[in-house]
Structure 1
Amino acid sequence: MKGRIIAIQPRSDGAGNMAALIEDGRLEDLMVDPAEDAGLQPGAICRGVMERPLKGQGAAIVRLPDGQRGWLREPKGISPGMSILVQVSTHAEPGKATPVTLRLTFKSRYAIVTPGAPGLNVARSIRDEEARDRLELLAREGMDGAEGLGLVLRTASEGASDEDVAADIEDMRQLAEAVLADDGKGPELLVDAPDVATRAWRDWPEPEMVAEGEAAFDDHGVSDVLHELRSIRVNLGGAAWMAVEPTSALVAIDVNTGGDTSPAAGLKANIAAVEALPRALRLRGLGGQIVVDCAPISKKQRLDVEAAARRAFKRDTVDTQLVGWTPLGHLEFLRKRERMPLREVLG
C-alpha cells in the first residue's frame, strides 16, 4: 500500500506496545516498549543526587530513583550530596550505569524547549520564507517572558495550524518551568520517558492511516520483517549481502560480494551496504561503536563509500557520526544508543 502507515500492536507479553512505521509498503522504523523492569529509559527526567566523582574519567556517579545509578559526564561545580536535575540520554548497556546529562530538553510534536540554551529557532528544513516568518512570530509570542529557555520548532510545525503549534509551545514551556522549579530532595522521577504510542505520534507525523490491534503487524507485513530481523544477514541486491552482528563491545558489519567477481563488485557492495545500514541499525535498535569490514576497494574508492554513507545517515533519525577509516581498512561510526536492542526487548 502506498503512503505512510503507523501500526500499533500490543506486545505478546503484555508489557506495553510495539509501533511500526511503514512507508509505501516497506517497514522503515520500529519502536518497542521495554519490559516493566527495564529501568529508566531515554528522555526520562529525574531529580538525582551526586554520589561520587570518578577520578581520571571526567565523570561522576549519580544516585537515581529506585536504587539505580547514573553516569554523568563532566560534573563541574557539583559536590557529593547535591540534588541535581538530570535526563537519561541513552540506553544503558547491561551491567552499566545509565548515561545521564544535565542538558534537559522537553520535546513534543512541534516544539522542543531547551533550558539553558536560549534562542528561538525554526528547523532549517523549513525553507519557505512565509512559513518561517509565521513560525518565528509564534515562537516569540509563545516564549515571551521565558527566562533561560530556548525553543526549536520542528519540521512538522510547518504544516500545523497556528493553534496547534502555539498549544505545543505552551505545554512544553509549562512543563519545563514546573520541572526547573523543583526544590525537592532525594532521587525522584519527575517526567517519565514517553511510551511508543506517544513517540509514534510525536516523531511520525501525518500518516495516511493508523492501524491498531492485535493483528496490526500481520495485516501490514511487519511480523514477517520481525522474523527476518532475527537473522544477521541483510541482502544488498544481486549476490551481495552484509552481516550485522552486535557484540558486547561493538556492532560488527561484514560486507560480502557473494559470487560477484567483477572489478566493481567491492565498490558496489560497499555503497549498497552503507546505504542499507541506517535502516538495518534502526530496526534492530543498535548503537554505539559500529565497525564496517568493507569488501576490498582502493583508497580512492573509499571517498565514494564515505560520500554514500554521509548521504544515507543524513536522512536517518538517530544521531550518527562517521569517525573514519582504521589502519586495517575498517569504516567506523559512532551511533547514539537511543533504543534498547530489539533482541533484548523481544528475547
Structure 2
Amino acid sequence: MSQEVLINVTPRETRVAVVENGSLQEVFIERSRRRGLVGNIYKGQVSRVLPGMQAAFIDAGLARTAFLHASDIAAVDAALEAGPQPTPDIGRLLKEQQAVLVQVIKDPIGSKGARLTTHITVPSRYMVLLPGNPTVGISARIEDAGERARLRALGESFLEGSEGCGFILRTAAEGVSEEALTRDREFLLRLWRSIQVRAAAAQPGTLVHGDLPLVLRVLRDLVSDDIERVRIDSRENFDRVVAFCEQFLPDIVPRLEHYPGERPIFDLYAVEDEIQRALERKVPLKSGGYLIIDQTEAMTTIDVNTGGYVGHRTLEETIFKTNLEAAQAIVRQLRLRNLGGIIIIDFIDMDEAEHKRQVLRALEKALERDHAKTQISGVSALGLVEITRKRTRESLEHVLCEPCPACGGRGNVKSAETVCYEIAREILREARQFDVEKLLVLAAQEVVDLVLDEESDSFAELEEFIGKPIEFQAEPLYTQEQFDVVLM
C-alpha cells in the first residue's frame, strides 16, 4: 500500500496531507494565528472549583479558562486516603488559587475552553514518558507476541533509575534496537528534568513546554514503515526538518524529499479539490449511491442512500453492496474531515443478519487504520450504528469555515414569501403604535420583487387598511431575511 506525506508551507499556514494510493486520507492544518495546543504543558492556577461538576476551571494563560475534571487529576490516590469513592471529591484535590502543572489533551472547540489533565505525558519517536507513573505499556497495534515480550522486558529494565517515570512503547518501537530505545529513554528523561526546572521558576498562567510544530509532530507521530516518502515544498523548512530528523529520527531521513516544482504540491493528487469536496454535505459513492453528512454541536449523523445504484440481482444484494462501499467511504470521511465525538450512521436497512455482520466487520476493519481512538457499537434496534471517535482538535469544517452570516449556521434562510408576510405584520404593528405619514420598507431585491409582483394586491389592501402609503426600496447588501420598516 503506497503512502506519501505532502507538506505545504507558507508564512502563515502549514498544511499536511496523507495520501494513500493517490487518494487523500487525512489533512492537518495549522495557522500561525491559531496554533494547536494539544500536548502543551502549562503552569496553571485554579480560578474556580465546581463541586457539582467535579471539575475546576484553570487559568493557564489561554484566551478562555480551561477545564480540568477530577478524573484527570494525577493526585487522586494520595488525596483519597479515607477510602475508595466512585468519583474523587474535587474539593479535596484542588483549592482556588492553587498552582498546578497541566497538559492540554483537547483543543478549545467552539465555545468550550481547552480540556486539561495533570497526567503529564512526554512523547518521542519510540516511547512516551509517564512522569510519576512507573509502569510499562505496549502499543496495542504491535501484535507479534515475541516482540511484545521483548519490548516489555526492555521497558521494565528502563524503570530502574527513571526517577519514578514509566514508559509506553509506541507502534514505531516495533523491531527497533535496544540501543535506539535507550537513547530515546535518555532524551525523554533529560527533557522531563528541564520541564521540571522551568515549571518551578515559572509564574502561574505561563507556557512551560510547547509541543513540536505541525510538520515535526507529523513526522514523529504518523510516519511509519508504510510511508514511502515525505515531500516538502519549502527549501528552508526541508533543511530544518532534515536537521531535526538526523538528530532524532534518523530512519526517516532517506525518505525526505524537497519538492521544487512550479506546480503546487497539493495539485499533484488533486488534494485541493478533495479538501473542497470534504466541506460538502453530499459524498458520492462510485456505485452511484451517496452519503449525507451533517455535523452538529452534539453529534455527527451520516445517512447512506442507494441513489442511482440499481444493482444487478436482488434489492437486498443492492443494499448490501451499497452499505459495504459506504463503510469504507465513511471511515475515510471521518479521518479526512476529522469528525469526533458521537457519530451515528444510518445504513440502509438490511434484512439478513449475515449482511449486517459483514458490513459491521468492514467498518471495524477500516477503522483499524484510524490513528484516533474509536469505539463502535453493534447495529441498534433502529438499524443505526453508533461510533465514538476521540476528538482532540477541531474538525476540518470548523478550521476552514465560519457560520453563514445570512442564516447563522442553520443551513437555510427564510423564503422571500415568509419575509413578505413578516413585513406585513411589522407594518401593522408600527402603524397601530405610531402616527406617521408613510412607511418605507428596506428589503432584499428578491423580497421587493415578490412584493411588487405576486403580492402587490395584498400590500395594496394593507395600504388601504392602515390608511398610509407604503413604499419599497431594494437594498443590495441585505440578506433575504433582513428588512427594516422606516417611519416617515
Q: Is the pair's TM-score, using the shorter chain for normalization, greater than 0.5?
A: yes
Aligned-partner Cα distance in 2 for 1:299–1:188: 58
The offset of 1:9, in angstroms, is 0.4
Match of 1:139 in 2: 155
RMSD of the TM alignment (CA)? 2.7
Aligned-partner Cα distance in 2 for 1:286–1:194: 23
Match of 1:188 in 2: 206
Aligned-partner Cα distance in 2 for 1:273–1:91: 30
- TM-score norm. by structure 1 comes to 0.87
Which residue of the other structure, out of 346, 353, 363, is the alignment partner of 1:293?
346
Aligned-partner Cα distance in 2 for 1:93–1:326: 29
Residues 85-164 of structure 1 aligned to structure 2 (within 5 Å) = 85-128=101-144, 131-132=147-148, 135-136=151-152, 138-140=154-156, 142-164=158-180
* Letter aligned with residue 123 of structure 1: S
The unaligned stretches of length 5 or more in structure 2 are 74-89, 235-263, 402-488
Match of 1:319 in 2: 373
Which residue of the other structure, out of 22, 25, 29, is the alignment partner of 1:32?
29
Task: Say which SS state the counterpart of residue 151 (structure 1) adopts.
Answer: strand
Which residue of the other structure, out of 318, 321, 324, is the alignment partner of 1:268?
321
Task: Say which SS state the counterpart of residue 169 (structure 1) adopts.
Answer: helix
1:212 aligns with 2:265: no
Indicate if the aligned counterparts of 1:61 and 1:70 stay in contact, CA closer than 8 A: yes
Task: Say which SS state the counterpart of residue 263 (structure 1) adopts.
Answer: helix
The unaligned stretches of length 5 or more in structure 1 are none
In the alignment of these two chains, the number of paired residues is: 343
The offset of 1:296, in angstroms, is 2.1
* Letter aligned with residue 271 of structure 1: L
The offset of 1:138, in angstroms, is 4.6
Match of 1:238 in 2: 287
Task: Say which SS state the counterpart of residue 65 (structure 1) adopts.
Answer: coil
Aligned-partner Cα distance in 2 for 1:86–1:329: 42
Distance 1:320 1:127, change over 3 A: closer
Match of 2:472 in 1: none
Residues 215-230 of structure 1 aligned to structure 2 (within 5 Å) = 215-230=264-279
Indicate if the aligned counterparts of 2:106 and 2:116 stay in contact, CA closer than 8 A: yes
Which residue of the other structure, out of 54, 74, 78, is the alignment partner of 2:50?
54
Task: Say which SS state the counterpart of residue 94 (structure 1) adopts.
Answer: coil
Distance 1:121 1:98, change over 3 A: closer
- Kindly indicate which of the two structures has a greater share of residues assigned to helix: 2
Task: Choose 1 or 2 for highest CA Rg.
Answer: 2
* Letter aligned with residue 280 of structure 1: Q
Aligned-partner Cα distance in 2 for 1:235–1:252: 16
The offset of 1:130, in angstroms, is 6.1
Higher relative contact order, structure no. (Cα contacts within 8 Å, ≥ 6 residues apart): 1
Aligned-partner Cα distance in 2 for 1:302–1:80: 53
Indicate if the aligned counterparts of 1:286 and 1:339 stay in contact, CA closer than 8 A: no
Task: Say which SS state the counterpart of residue 106 (structure 2) adopts.
Answer: coil
- TM-score norm. by structure 2 comes to 0.64
The offset of 1:87, in angstroms, is 1.4
Aligned-partner Cα distance in 1 for 2:344–2:94: 36
* Letter aligned with residue 231 of structure 2: A
* Letter aligned with residue 9 of structure 1: N
The offset of 1:156, in angstroms, is 1.4
Task: Say which SS state the counterpart of residue 31 (structure 1) adopts.
Answer: strand
Aligned-partner Cα distance in 2 for 1:335–1:320: 4
Deviations 1:162-186 (A, max 9, x none): 4433222222222234334533441
The offset of 1:84, in angstroms, is 1.2
Aligned-partner Cα distance in 2 for 1:132–1:324: 30
Residues 168-179 of structure 1 aligned to structure 2 (within 5 Å) = 168-179=184-195
Aligned-partner Cα distance in 2 for 1:80–1:228: 47
Distance 1:299 1:195, change over 3 A: farther
Task: Say which SS state the counterpart of residue 291 (structure 2) adopts.
Answer: strand
1:22 aligns with 2:36: no
Aligned-partner Cα distance in 2 for 1:222–1:139: 41
The offset of 1:275, in angstroms, is 2.8
Percentage of matched positions with identical amino acids: 29
